Amino acid sequence: MTGVLPIAATAKQMGKRGLVVPSANLAEAMVVEGLAVYGFDHLRGVIEFLHDPSRYVAPSYQRSEADTATSPLDLMEVKGQSHARRALEVAAAGGHNLIFVGPPGSGKTLLARRIPSILPPMTFEEALETTRIYSVAGLLQGRGLITDRPFRSPHHSASGPSLVGGGSFPKPGEISLASNGILFLDELTEFKRDVLDFLRQPLEDGFVTVTRTRQSVVFPAKFMLVASTNPCPCGYFGDAIQPCTCSPRQREQYWARLSGPLMDRIDLQVMVNRLKPEEITSQEQGEPSAIVRARVARARKIQQERFAQEPNVRCNAQMESRHLRQFCQLDERSKSLLEGAIRRLGLSARASDRVLKVSRTIADLAESDKIQANHVAEAIQYRTFDRMSS
């Protein structure tokens, strides 16, 4: 049965003391505290229960400690790529959208799949929100509270409805299932452009409205977008070893597919190069995920305190204009740096706001109260592709 968790939460709100559910949904209903939940396999059991409820004891839910089980993929296994690793850390620290652009074999997918290993555990509120979405989608499969941040990686043949939600009884799509976690779009340019256009509004709002003839439903969609793509059709533009065989026109058309408005909403745009031969043979391991995650957690803690009074903002990436005025003030030097970048790269107002948010996160990682010029300069570096896609 789908949607048992929201039903249980509503029963609690209505002041009900208990709830009878199918056994298979017991774990998820028990997530709601202060509600006695009984699970049965057959109606006969329910009838016996109703005859003499005092003979039954509702099982109690043991909330486990925040799940710190590490993801099986560790950043330690990634050699070199200090620039891309840094971008990954900044993205995780502030909840920013990120795209890796690089030739085949540069390890961009390898890097992206390791993001879950450096993200902080979900708060209880986040876990509850995510569990509700999976409950409605019928994907809990007997589980109780989901404590791992979701990592969703839909195939590029995915349809609009499967990505954003739909159906005659609206169901949440991939962007909602990725809420409080990651939506990973591998080979972004392979996705249909009209399907990508569906992402724009949810990326801005943090929710999606699915409208059908019967009803319209709002689902949360607070996901971090992580994407990867080749730099051109042949894949080797900018590669040190293999020359690109595409014409300028082909490259232009390729970037046009990504559409400026979508790139506008990607805070961190990072070129990933193939390793040099001496880097490939090097025995040196990368920094382990646990150490990176500790730095990310410190930066998130600062944000938690900053947004303690803001129920809808959990990290820097979710700031609105009024927060930018309050928390992202720049001194003269930083201001002229940003203005220079707006002119040089032709940044839109939206893109320049995103530079400010990323600067805030870089300052938080440095545990600096004020945003400094070097923080802004680093944030600007991550706007490599605004030019190419506009």
Could you tell me which stretch among 95-103, 176-184, 189-197, 224-232 binds Zn ion (CB under 5 A)?
224-232
φ and ψ at residue 209, rounded to 5 degrees: -105, 120
φ and ψ at residue 278, rounded to 5 degrees: -70, -25
Residue 75 within binding range of Zn ion, rule CB under 5 A: no
Which letter does DSSP use for residue 383 in this model?
B
Residue 296 within binding range of Zn ion, rule CB under 5 A: no
Q: How far is CA 360 from the centre of its chain?
A: 18
- Nearer CB in complex with Zn ion: 58/244: 244
Residue 136 within binding range of Zn ion, rule CB under 5 A: no
Residue 232 within binding range of Zn ion, rule CB under 5 A: yes
Dig out the tokens for 208 from the structure: 């999606």
Using CB under 5 A, which of 24, 73, 246, 275 touches Zn ion? 246
Residue 237 within binding range of Zn ion, rule CB under 5 A: yes
Pairwise CA distance, residues 220 & 206, whole Å = 6
Q: Are 370 and 330 in contact (CB under 8 A)?
A: no
Per-residue binding letters, 180-219, with Zn ion (x by CB under 5 A)? ----------------------------------------
Dig out the tokens for 154 from the structure: 């839909």
Q: Residue count at the site for Zn ion (CB under 5 A)?
A: 5
Residue 242 within binding range of Zn ion, rule CB under 5 A: no
Residue 100 within binding range of Zn ion, rule CB under 5 A: no
- Nearer CB in complex with Zn ion: 150/231: 231
- Nearer CB in complex with Zn ion: 41/252: 252
Q: Where are the alpha helices (DSSP H) in the chain?
A: 4-13, 26-29, 43-51, 82-94, 108-112, 124-137, 160-164, 174-177, 193-197, 200-205, 248-258, 260-264, 277-281, 289-306, 321-327, 332-345, 349-365, 373-381, 386-389
Element (H, E) at 172: strand 171-172
Residue 373 within binding range of Zn ion, rule CB under 5 A: no
- Nearer CB in complex with Zn ion: 134/237: 237
Q: How far is the CB of 226 from Zn ion (least distance, A)?
A: 23
Chain residues binding Zn ion by CB under 5 A are: 232, 234, 237, 244, 246
